[in-house]
Chain A
Amino acid sequence: MAKTALQFRHNGRDVAIFVDGGTNLLAALRELIGDMTPKFGCGQGGCGACSVLIDGELHLSCLTLAETVAGRSVETLDSLKDGPNLHPLQRAFADNFAAQCGYCTPGMLMAAKALLDRNPQPSRTEVIEAISGNICRCTGYEPIINAVLAAASGGRARA
Chain B
Amino acid sequence: MLELRKDIFADERDDNLKEIGKGTQRQDMLGHVTGTSTYFDDHKLQGMLHLKVVRSTHPHARLRRIDTSDAERSAGVRRIIRGSDVPRNLNTLLSLINFGKDDEPSLAVDKVRYKGEPIVAIVADSPREAYEAMAKVRIDYEPLPAVFDVEDALKPGAPVVNETYPKNAFIYHDVYDHQKLRFGDVERGLAAADHVLEQRYQMSPIEHAPTETNGSIAAPDTNGRYIVYTSTQALFFSLDTCAKILDVPSNTFHFIGGTVGGGFGGKVDTLTEPLAILGATLTGRPVRYVLGREEEMQFGSPRGAERIYIKDGVMRDGRIVARKIRALFDSGAYTRLSSYAAVKCAAHLPGPYTIPNVHGDVYCVFTNRTPATAMRGFGVTAMDFAIECQMDKLAHLVGMDPMEFRILNAYRDGDMKAHRREAKNCALIECVQVAAEKAKWPIREEFKRASSRKDGGGSRAAISPTPRESYAPATAPSQQRTTYDRAPAAAREPPPPPPPPPPRPQAPSHGAARFSSVFGTRRR
Contact = CB atoms under 8 A, between A and B. Distances in A.
B261 interface: yes
Interface string A92-105: 01100101011111
Contact of B34 (A20, A46, A86, A101): A86
B25 A78 contact: no
Interface in A99-113: 99, 101-106, 109
Interface in A1-42: 20, 22, 30-31, 34, 36-37, 39-42
B490 to A, nearest CB: 41
Given A41-B211, A135-B211, A137-B209, A101 B261 contact: yes
Nearest to A20: B128
A48 to B, nearest CB: 9
B110 interface: no
A70 interface: no
Contacts of B26: 97, 99
Contact of B260 (A76, A90, A101): A101
A78 B35 contact: yes
A78 to B, nearest CB: 6
B33 A99 contact: yes
Contacts of A30: 44
Most central of A81, A104, A105, A109 by chain B CB within 10 Å: A105
B384 interface: no
Main secondary structure of the interface of A (DSSP, over half): loop
Contacts of A81: 34
A47 interface: yes
Contacts of A90: 33-34
A43 B212 contact: no
Nearest to A103: B261
B264 A137 contact: yes
Interface residues of A, number: 39
A76 B35 contact: yes
Nearest to B35: A37
Nearest to B208: A137
A145 interface: no
Contacts of B41: 40
A91 B210 CA distance: 25
A105 B44 contact: no
B293 A105 contact: no
A93 B32 CA distance: 9
A49 B209 CA distance: 13
B305 to A, nearest CB: 21
Interface centre among A41, A102, A104 (most CB of B within 10 A): A102
A39 B38 CA distance: 11
A94 B29 contact: yes
A97 B28 CA distance: 11
A101 B30 contact: no
B44 A34 contact: yes
A115 interface: no
A44 interface: yes
B176 interface: no
B445 interface: no
27 contacts: A20-B128, A30-B44, A31-B44, A36-B35, A36-B38, A36-B42, A39-B39, A39-B211, A40-B41, A42-B293, A76-B35, A90-B33, A90-B34, A91-B33, A94-B25, A97-B26, A99-B26, A101-B210, A101-B263, A102-B31, A103-B39, A103-B211, A104-B211, A105-B32, A105-B33, A106-B35, A138-B262
The 8 closest A-B pairs by CB, nearest first: A103-B261, A102-B32, A37-B35, A99-B32, A77-B35, A36-B42, A90-B33, A42-B293
Interface of A: 20, 22, 30-31, 34, 36-37, 39-44, 46-47, 49, 76-78, 80-81, 86, 90-91, 93-94, 97, 99, 101-106, 109, 135-138
Given A22-B128, A91-B33, A138-B262, 10 more contacts: A40-B212, A41-B212, A90-B33, A94-B33, A101-B210, A103-B210, A109-B33, A109-B35, A135-B211, A136-B211
